[in-house]
Chains A and B, each alone.
Chain A
C-alpha cells in the first residue's frame, strides 16, 4: 500500500482510539456522593414529554444516576404531546405530560392498551405555576386582571397604554409600545393549562377551543418553553406565558384572583391543587390520579394559572430490568427527597403529604423482577 494510504488510515485509527480512550476515562469516573443503598438498579430506560418538567427531570435523572451507577435514564423534552404519543406507541418507558391523557382521540384508551396486560399509571409529579412574563423597560410591576389578560392574548388589546391595562395599574406610566404576544408553536401542556384558565374564567372573551395548540394566529410563535422566554427577552413590548421555573430574570405580572393580586409562587400553586377535586372521567383506573383544577377559585393565597404535570407509566413492562428501573426511578421522583430536589432546582411546588400518600401506592404497583 502506498504511504499516503497508510497515512490516511493511521489518522482515522488515531481518531477512533482517542474516542475510545475518552469513553474509557469517563466510564471509569466514580460518581462520588450518594450512598448506594443495597439493591442498586441498572438498565437503560427512556422517557419523553413536557418541556416544563424538563428542569426537574434533569435534576432527578442526575441524582438517580449518581445513586445507581449502572442505570441510564434519558428524557427527551419534545413537548407533552410528543411524550404522550411516544408513550402510546411504546417508544418510551415513561412520559411527562402537562395534561392528563384525554378521552378525545382515545388517548386514554390507547395508553391503557399499551400497558396491557398491566395497568396504566398516571400521577402528578410536578406542580408549577405558569408565569406571565413580559418585557417592558421602565415598567417593573404589572398587574393584569383575567379580562385584560385574555384580551391581550386574543390580540384585542394591541398597545401597552391601552385604558384597560392602565385601569389595572393605577399610577404606572405605560409607554405607547405595541404589544407582541408570544405563544408556543409546538403542542404544549403549558398552552393547554393557560387556555383552560382563560376559557374557564373569562369565557365571554376567550371563545377558542382549549387544546395544546395555540389557537390565535398572528402572534410571535416560539418553540419550547425556552423559546418563549428567549422571544420575550429579545422583544421590547413582548408578553408571553411560560413555566415559572424558566422565567429567569424576566419581569412577571401579577394576576387578579378574587380581590387580590396573586404572584406565581410555588405555595400558591400547591394551594390550588389541594383545593381541587379529582377528575373522575380522566381517572378511570386504580392508578390514574388526574385533577380537575378549580381555576375560578377566588380564595386567598392561590394562583390559578398553574400547571399540574403528570408522570405516565405502566405497571408491567416487557423486560424485568426495564420494570425495575422505571419503578425505582418513579419511586424516587414522587418521594419527598425527589420533590425537594425538584423544588430546589426547578422551583416547583413539592407534592403535599396528602398527595404523596395517594400517589406512592400507584408507583409501587409497578411489578418489578
Chain B
C-alpha cells in the first residue's frame, strides 16, 4: 500500500492527514487469519461450528480489528480504505460461492449418470436405463435450426440499423428490439405453439416449433451484439472503400463484415449459449419422447433441458437412476455452454482484426 506523503493543505473534501506510519504488508492477512481462528475457537467451544458461520463472523471481526488497528497506525482514511477493500473482496467471494457450488454440485451429482450409453443410445425400449443421445441430438438440432433462422435475420437487421436505417423505421426497430428482449421465455413458447396450432390443429408438437420460440428469444440478442460490433468498425474504412468506388453492398460484405466477423461470431455464440438451456418454451412446444428423432418437421423431439426436467419431475421406477440422468443432462448442458463461451472468446482473440 502507498505510504503517507508529507501533508499538503488542500481545500474541500480531500483533507490529507498526518499519516504517521503504515501497517506491515502482512497485516491484512494476519488479521484475517487471526479472526478466523478466534471465531472458529469460539464456535467450537459453543458447539456451533460451521464453515459458513466462521467465514461470516470471521469477516466481520476482521473488518473491526483491521479498522481499529489501521486507524491507530495509519489514520482514519487509510483505515476506511482497507476495510472497504476487505468488504469488496468479501462480496466478490460471496458472489463466487454459488458459482462454485453450482458447478461442484452438478458435477458431483451428474458424473454418476454419465456413461458411454448416456451419449450413444436413446431411451427407447428400456425401462429406467437407456441414454440421452436423443436428447443431445435434439438439443443440437433445435438450437441449430433456431440459429439458422435467427442469425441471418438478426445480422441483416443489425446491418440495416447501422448502415442504412434512417428515420422512423429505424427508431421503431430500435424501440421494438428493446421490447423484444423483454418477452418472457414462456410467452415466446406459447406464441409458437399457438401459431402452429392454428394451422396444424391442437396437440401438435414439433421440433421446429421449439426453434421458432427460441428464435424469438435469440433475435434481439443477436441484433444487439451485432449492432455494437458493427458500430465499432471505424468509418474511415468505409469511406476509403467508397472513395475507391465500391458499391455500398460490397463495402458491407467485403469490408465491414469481415472486420467485424470475430465480434459477430462471438455474439452469435453467446446468443446460442443463452438459449441452449431454455426449458420453458420447449416444454410447451416440442413434447416428450423416448426415441431418436432428427427431423424437426415431423414428430416430437426430445432435448436436454426438457429431458433433465422430466427425469427430475417424473423419475419413474428407478428413481435414483432417473435423478442421475437428470443431473448428467444438466452437466452436459453446462459443458456445451462452456465450450461455446470459451470457443467464442478464442475465436474473438484469434480472428479479431486490429484496427489502428
Residues A26 and B313 in contact in the complex (CB < 8 Å), given A4-B261, A345-B127:
no
- Tell whether, in the assembled complex, residue A227 and residue B122 are in contact, meaning their CB atoms are under 8 Å apart: no
Please pick, from A16, A54, A62, A90, the residue contacting B314 in the complex, using a CB distance under 8 A. Answer: A54
Q: Is A44 an interface residue (CB 8 A)?
A: yes
Residues A19 and B316 in contact in the complex (CB < 8 Å), given A25-B120, A89-B202, A90-B201:
no
User: What are the interface flags for A75-87 relative to B under an 8 Å C-beta threshold, 1 for contact and 0 otherwise?
Assistant: 1110000000010
- Tell whether, in the assembled complex, residue A76 and residue B288 are in contact, meaning their CB atoms are under 8 Å apart: yes
User: What are the interface flags for A216-259 relative to B under an 8 Å C-beta threshold, 1 for contact and 0 otherwise?
Assistant: 00000001111100000000000000000110100000000000
Please pick, from A2, A20, A59, A86, the residue contacting B294 in the complex, using a CB distance under 8 A. Answer: A20
Q: Is A8 an interface residue (CB 8 A)?
A: yes
Expressed in whole angstroms, the Cα–Cα distance for A55 and B202 within the complex equals 26
For window 112-168 of chain A, which residues contact chain B by CB distance below 8 Å? none
Expressed in whole angstroms, the Cα–Cα distance for A75 and B140 within the complex equals 23
Residues A224 and B314 in contact in the complex (CB < 8 Å), given A44-B299, A74-B288, A86-B203:
yes
| A342 → B minimal CB distance (Å) | 10
Number of interface residues of B (CB under 8 A): 44
Residues of B within 8 A of A345 (CB): 127, 317
- Tell whether, in the assembled complex, residue B287 and residue A248 are in contact, meaning their CB atoms are under 8 Å apart: no
Residues of A within 8 A of B290 (CB): 61, 65, 72, 74
- Tell whether, in the assembled complex, residue B136 and residue A22 are in contact, meaning their CB atoms are under 8 Å apart: yes
Q: Is the interface of A mostly helix, strand, loop or mixed?
A: helix
Expressed in whole angstroms, the Cα–Cα distance for A8 and B257 within the complex equals 15
For window 184-236 of chain A, which residues contact chain B by CB distance below 8 Å? 223-227
Q: Is the interface of B mostly helix, strand, loop or mixed?
A: loop
User: What are the interface flags for B265-302 relative to A under an 8 Å C-beta threshold, 1 for contact and 0 otherwise?
Assistant: 10000000000000000000001111110100001100
| A285 → B minimal CB distance (Å) | 23
Q: Is B19 an interface residue (CB 8 A)?
A: no
Q: Is B243 an interface residue (CB 8 A)?
A: no
The residue in B126, B140, B265, B317 that gathers the most chain A C-beta atoms within 10 A of its C-beta is B317
Closest B-chain residue to A64, C-beta based? B125
- Tell whether, in the assembled complex, residue B140 and residue A46 are in contact, meaning their CB atoms are under 8 Å apart: no
| A106 → B minimal CB distance (Å) | 17
Q: Is A283 an interface residue (CB 8 A)?
A: no
- Tell whether, in the assembled complex, residue A66 and residue B202 are in contact, meaning their CB atoms are under 8 Å apart: no
| B266 → A minimal CB distance (Å) | 11
| B109 → A minimal CB distance (Å) | 14
Q: Is A346 an interface residue (CB 8 A)?
A: yes
| A256 → B minimal CB distance (Å) | 30
Residues A26 and B127 in contact in the complex (CB < 8 Å), given A90-B203, A227-B313:
no
Q: Is B333 an interface residue (CB 8 A)?
A: no
Closest B-chain residue to A93, C-beta based? B203
- Tell whether, in the assembled complex, residue A59 and residue B127 are in contact, meaning their CB atoms are under 8 Å apart: yes
Residues A66 and B125 in contact in the complex (CB < 8 Å), given A8-B265, A346-B317:
yes
Residues A12 and B144 in contact in the complex (CB < 8 Å), given A19-B137, A22-B120, A62-B127:
yes
For window 21-68 of chain A, which residues contact chain B by CB distance below 8 Å? 22-23, 25-27, 29, 31, 44, 46, 51, 54-55, 58-59, 61-63, 65-66
Residues of B within 8 A of A175 (CB): none
Q: Is B141 an interface residue (CB 8 A)?
A: yes
Number of interface residues of A (CB under 8 A): 48
| B105 → A minimal CB distance (Å) | 15
Expressed in whole angstroms, the Cα–Cα distance for A8 and B317 within the complex equals 43
- Tell whether, in the assembled complex, residue B122 and residue A26 are in contact, meaning their CB atoms are under 8 Å apart: yes
Please pick, from A74, A76, A226, the residue contacting B312 in the complex, using a CB distance under 8 A. Answer: A226
Residues of B within 8 A of A223 (CB): 313
Expressed in whole angstroms, the Cα–Cα distance for A89 and B201 within the complex equals 9
Closest A-chain residue to B262, C-beta based? A4
Residues A72 and B140 in contact in the complex (CB < 8 Å), given A8-B265, A55-B317, A224-B314:
no
Residues of A within 8 A of B133 (CB): 22, 26
| B189 → A minimal CB distance (Å) | 15
- Tell whether, in the assembled complex, residue A5 and residue B313 are in contact, meaning their CB atoms are under 8 Å apart: no
Residues A62 and B126 in contact in the complex (CB < 8 Å), given A16-B144, A22-B133, A22-B137:
yes
Q: Is A15 an interface residue (CB 8 A)?
A: yes
- Tell whether, in the assembled complex, residue A226 and residue B288 are in contact, meaning their CB atoms are under 8 Å apart: no
Q: Is B34 an interface residue (CB 8 A)?
A: no
Expressed in whole angstroms, the Cα–Cα distance for A89 and B197 within the complex equals 11
| A201 → B minimal CB distance (Å) | 30
| B263 → A minimal CB distance (Å) | 12
- Tell whether, in the assembled complex, residue B203 and residue A92 are in contact, meaning their CB atoms are under 8 Å apart: yes
Residues of B within 8 A of A361 (CB): none
Q: Is B315 an interface residue (CB 8 A)?
A: yes
Closest A-chain residue to B289, C-beta based? A74
- Tell whether, in the assembled complex, residue A55 and residue B203 are in contact, meaning their CB atoms are under 8 Å apart: no
Q: Is B258 an interface residue (CB 8 A)?
A: yes
Q: Is A91 an interface residue (CB 8 A)?
A: yes
Residues A77 and B201 in contact in the complex (CB < 8 Å), given A44-B299, A226-B319, A248-B319:
no
Q: Is B57 an interface residue (CB 8 A)?
A: no
- Tell whether, in the assembled complex, residue A58 and residue B127 are in contact, meaning their CB atoms are under 8 Å apart: yes
Expressed in whole angstroms, the Cα–Cα distance for A63 and B125 within the complex equals 6
- Tell whether, in the assembled complex, residue A72 and residue B265 are in contact, meaning their CB atoms are under 8 Å apart: no
Residues A51 and B314 in contact in the complex (CB < 8 Å), given A31-B125, A65-B125, A76-B288:
yes
Residues of A within 8 A of B202 (CB): 86, 89-91
- Tell whether, in the assembled complex, residue A5 and residue B203 are in contact, meaning their CB atoms are under 8 Å apart: no
Expressed in whole angstroms, the Cα–Cα distance for A59 and B125 within the complex equals 9
- Tell whether, in the assembled complex, residue A19 and residue B203 are in contact, meaning their CB atoms are under 8 Å apart: no
Closest A-chain residue to B129, C-beta based? A62
- Tell whether, in the assembled complex, residue B292 and residue A23 are in contact, meaning their CB atoms are under 8 Å apart: yes
The residue in B133, B314, B317 that gathers the most chain A C-beta atoms within 10 A of its C-beta is B314
- Tell whether, in the assembled complex, residue B319 and residue A19 are in contact, meaning their CB atoms are under 8 Å apart: no
The residue in A19, A29, A65, A224 that gathers the most chain B C-beta atoms within 10 A of its C-beta is A19
The residue in A65, A225, A226 that gathers the most chain B C-beta atoms within 10 A of its C-beta is A226
- Tell whether, in the assembled complex, residue A29 and residue B121 are in contact, meaning their CB atoms are under 8 Å apart: yes
For window 270-306 of chain A, which residues contact chain B by CB distance below 8 Å? none
For window 111-127 of chain B, which residues contact chain A by CB distance below 8 Å? 119-122, 124-127
Please pick, from B137, B294, B314, the residue contacting A226 in the complex, using a CB distance under 8 A. Answer: B314
Could you list 7 A-B pairs, sorted by A, with CB under 8 Å?
A: A4-B351, A8-B265, A19-B141, A29-B121, A46-B300, A72-B291, A246-B319
Residues of B within 8 A of A (CB): 119-122, 124-128, 133-134, 136-137, 140-141, 144, 201-205, 258, 261-262, 265, 287-292, 294, 299-300, 312-317, 319, 347, 350-351
Q: Which 5 A-B pairs have the closest CB atoms?
A: A91-B203, A74-B289, A89-B202, A65-B125, A62-B127
**Besides A31-B124, A59-B317, 10 other A-B contacts (C-beta < 8 A):** A2-B258, A2-B261, A15-B144, A19-B141, A22-B136, A26-B134, A51-B314, A74-B291, A226-B312, A248-B319
